[in-house]
Amino acid sequence: MLRDWSSWCRVRQVARASGLAPLVDGLETGAVTPEETAAAFRLGYARWWLPPTLDADPELRDFRRFQHEHLIEEFREIYDLVRTAAAGRVVRALGHDLPAVQTVPRNSELGLLRRQMELQRPSRSIREMILSACRQAFPSLRAES
């Protein structure tokens, strides 16, 4: 018991000399339990280290959370506008030379394909019809592998 007490006195003296007097006082008064010592030390260290570190860096010192969040929100709004406009532009670009659905002749490959796709139970394979239409449109696809 005496050995433990003298060991504690040495550790306490070194801790106080290292600037840890509040932690030692908390342990001695019971405000900090032995299980909480590591967490209390980390918290005290952060409170000691953080303010001068933040003050030393101009970007961190001048950081304004609400301005930053406002800029992020503004960016999101602009991004949504651009994304919406881009989607419409892509749709127009993809459909540039395609005929309107209503103008496709019923007896053409696309007309027959459209008709089969409208049926609940197609009488022909949609896949085969698409391949057939592609082979007609692109003769280089005719060679089967």
| Single pTM value for the model | 0.40
Residue ranges of domains in the chain: 2-57, 64-98, 101-141
Weakest-pLDDT range from 30-34, 88-92, 107-111, 139-143:
139-143
Q: How confident is the model at residue 145 (pLDDT cuts 50, 70, 90)?
A: very low
Please classify residue 62 by burial: count the beta carbons closer than 10 Å to its beta carbon, then call 0-12 exposed, 13-18 middle and 19+ buried.
Answer: exposed
Weakest-pLDDT range from 54-58, 62-66, 119-123, 131-135:
131-135
